[in-house]
Amino acid sequence: MERTIGGSGRGMKWDHNKIKIVILYIFLLAGGLWHVLGVLQNAMRLLAAPMIVGLCLALCYEYLRHHFNRKFILWGVFVCMAGFFIELIGVKTGAIFGSYFYGAILQPAIWNIPLAIGFAWLAMIVSSAAISQYLFPARFLQQPARIALAIAMLMVIFDLFMEPAAAKLGYWTWNTESIPLRNYLAWFVFGFILSYIGLRLGLFIKKSSALAAHAYIAQLCYFVLVSLA
């Protein structure tokens, strides 16, 4: 028998969701604050990749808990692999995002590409899909192409906040004075394609968990704090 607070199972589940969201903000805002204060830097470097993977797995678990679908698992594996190889080609050729290289922070890595980066792509799409349902009117999100467009736009906004922070964190370094415009264009194109594939598989049609939407906001807050450090 499920124990409840306030006499209903729904109330208990809502409390659990709020606790998860609060924990998410505590972790990310504390991490951002530590960078501002310049403390626990070695620990933050060691935890960077595990945190990316852990957040991604948590968001995937939440999605499957609400809307179990084997297609989501297959799509998620595909996105992780696609994200990794897109980055690999991007670093080796400089033709996709521009000329850049990864530092030694996000370990382990294969061919100098962090394994965590594929998980970062998946987490970004899942969280962008979730918050799009709160930001855009329902009538706009009627067709897969429109939803994919919204997700791609939110991914570009996410990257705008992430780039300055990533440079300070030593995740990657650009070989140019400014970030090329094609970097953001590539984020938009690949974000649209990968999310559109998921939408055609029937994913992200139903309401996503609030945790995924808050993951988008919490990460932006983290990036802002790091950029201010």
User: pLDDT of 94-126, one tens digit each?
Assistant: 999 999 999 999 999 999 999 999 999 999 999
3: in domain: no
User: Which strand (E) or helix (H) includes residue 100?
Assistant: strand 100-102
Mean pLDDT of 172-178: 92
**Is the Cβ–Cβ distance between 219 and 158 less than 8 Å?**
yes
- The winner for highest mean pLDDT among 29-43, 139-153, 189-203 is 189-203
Is the residue at 1 inside a domain?
no
Q: Please tell me the distance from the alpha carbon of residue 190 to that of residue 214, in angstroms, as a whole number.
A: 23
pLDDT above 90 for 218: yes
**Alpha-carbon distances, residue 132 vs 9, 140, 141, 164 (angstroms):** 28, 10, 9, 23
pLDDT for 91:
96
pLDDT for 5 equals: 33
- List all residues 6 or more positions away from 36 whose beta carbon is below 8 Å from its beta carbon: 225, 226, 228, 229
Is 102 inside any structural domain? Answer: yes
Question: Does a structural domain hold residue 30?
Answer: yes
- Two structure tokens written together for 131: 């918050």
Residue 127 lies in a domain: yes
Residue 167 belongs to what domain range? 9-228
The tokens for 55 are 């957040």
pLDDT band at 38 (very low <50, low <70, confident <90, very high): confident
Residue 4 lies in a domain: no
Give the pLDDT band of residue 14 (cuts 50, 70, 90): low
**For residue 229, what pLDDT is reported?**
74
User: Number of H helices and number of E strands within the chain?
Assistant: 7, 4
| Average confidence (pLDDT) over 70-90 | 97
* Total structural domains within the chain: 1
Q: What pTM value is reported for the model?
A: 0.89
Spatial separation of the C-alpha atoms in residues 55 and 43, rounded to whole Å: 17
Q: What percent of the chain has pLDDT over 70?
A: 94
Query: In the predicted model, is pLDDT for residue 3 greater than 60?
Result: no
How many Å from the N-terminal Cα to the C-terminal Cα in the chain? 49
Calculate the average pLDDT of the chain: 89
Report the candidate in 138, 56, 13, 11 with the shortest Cα–Cα distance to residue 64.
56
Is residue 4's pLDDT more than 60? no
Cα distance between residue 173 and residue 77, in whole Å: 27
User: What residues have CB less than 8 Å from 55, skipping those under 6 apart?
Assistant: 123, 215
| pLDDT for 43 | 82
